Structure 1
Amino acid sequence: MSILNTEIKPFEATAFRDGEYVDVSDADVRGKWSIFFFYPADFTFVCPTELGDMADLYDEFTKLGVEVYAVSTDTHHVHAAWHKSSDTIGKIRYYMVGDPSGTVTRNFDNMRDGEGLADRGTFLVDPDGIIQYLEITPEGVGRNAAELLRKVKAAQYVRNHPGEVCPAKWEEGETTLAPSIDLVGKI
């Protein structure tokens, strides 16, 4: 069963952000767009490239009113140590959520069975707490923050323009579609 278009489940966790430990919960997500960016583990190989890529575009996400929560089953203490020891991770300004109990990861149905590690999963949550987009990629395939940014813009456009949809490769400012009987068989 897919969790797409379902409400996120309650959670409480501790995150590392801006040199401090901060508490985060599902209540913090309500009222704004959020990205939950799960990754298997700190001090690994593909993960820092993805987190660094997200850090490079973080300002673009915040301009759209989107907050980013990177989540692994490591603790917030491990996140702080990684942030301090890696130049790539050191540029992160978004939340690095510690999930050693696996509660957040399981709430998003993103836990690897028997491993205690999160899958490489991305979830876009709207201001109502509803999951609007999800993507799970295999262990060796890193994600692209620029493509995620494009998808966030499309999801926000569709939310703000009922009756319109964004076609493949849609970029902000391009033509959208208004599904109707007149379009059937003409695309």
Structure 2
Amino acid sequence: MLTVGKPFPQFNLKAAVSNDINDGFADIANDTYKGKWLVVFAWPKDFTFVCPTEIAEFGRLNEEFQDRDAQVLGMSTDSEFVHLNWRRSHEDLRDLPFPMLSDIKRELSQELGILDDAEGVCLRATFIVDPDGIVRHVSVNDLSVGRNPHEIVRILDALQTDELCPCNWQKGEDTLEAA
């Protein structure tokens, strides 16, 4: 699996960006949000049970990420058309403010090393990528356990201090001084 300190792979993927069949799709690549932090999170499958709880919470926290000059990108191996239909049919996903990337060929998922061997779908992986394209945080959950998007905001805050941050550190608290 791709780890901290490595360049995030180059990608160019179709995405569902709204609920409108006429203009609800876009091509999203690494340089689409050049100069921003990226929070890329993957989920196993659309039209499932745990996934929409995470996706909706990332959506509710989108302004928090924007305030930190970060762009959220969600991703699964489903097509952009499946993403669109899921957005349209699931009340909690209708107003998502971030793109849902389609890695239907599994190219990015394979480069990231996050495909579940048994199921062939993405694990619940999260990558925080700095504006220079370097991975600064990686976390992966089992298929059955949802992640905590609030913790991703906290980690982003800590990374953006470029300082030593102790356990449970919160934005606004003192950082550590090296002795």
State which drifts further: 108-117 or 87-96. 108-117
State which of 130, 133, 137 in structure 2 corresponds to 1:133.
137
Higher CA-based Rg: 1
Of 8-17 and 110-119, more deviation after overlay is shown by 110-119
State how far apart, in whole Å, the 2-side matches of 1:176 and 1:63 are: 21
Residue 113 of structure 1, CA deviation = 2.1
On the 8 A contact 2:18/2:84 being kept in 1, the answer is: no
The letter of the residue matching 2:15 is: A
CA contact (8 A) 1:8 1:107 kept: no
Alignment correspondent of 1:183:
none
Q: Please state whether the residue corresponding to 1:52 is helix, strand or coil.
A: helix
The Cα RMSD (Å) is 1.3
Q: Is 1:4 aligned with 2:13?
A: no
Q: How many angstroms does 1:179 deviate by?
A: 2.0
Amino acid at match of 1:132: R
SS in structure 1 at match of 2:137: strand
CA distance in 2, matches of 1:3, 1:70: 19
SS of the residue corresponding to residue 155 of structure 1 reads: helix
1:28 aligns with 2:32: yes
- Map residues 73-152 of structure 1 onto 2, 5 A cutoff: 73-152=77-156
- Find the partner of 2:66 among 54, 58, 62: 62
What do residues 97-156 of structure 1 show as CA deviations (whole Å, max 9, x unaligned)? Answer: 011100111121111125320000000000000000010011221111111111111111
Q: Secondary structure at the match of 1:3?
A: coil
How far apart are the structure 1 equivalents of 2:11 and 2:59? 24
How far off is 1:29 after superposition?
A: 4.3
Consecutive unaligned residues of structure 1, counting only runs of 5 or more, are 159-163, 181-187
Deviation at 1:12, TM superposition (A): 1.2
User: Aligned partners of 1:21 and 1:116: how far apart in 2?
Assistant: 25
| Structure 2 partner of 1:45 | 49
Show structure 2 runs of 5+ residues with no match. Answer: none
Describe the SS at the equivalent of 1:167: coil
**TM-score, with normalisation over the residues of structure 2?**
0.93
Is the Cα–Cα contact under 8 Å of residues 52 and 91 in structure 1 kept in the other structure? no
The alignment-based identity, stated in percent, is 34
Matched, 1:168 2:172: no
How far did residue 89 of structure 1 move? 1.3
Runs of at least 4 residues of structure 1 off by over 4 A? none
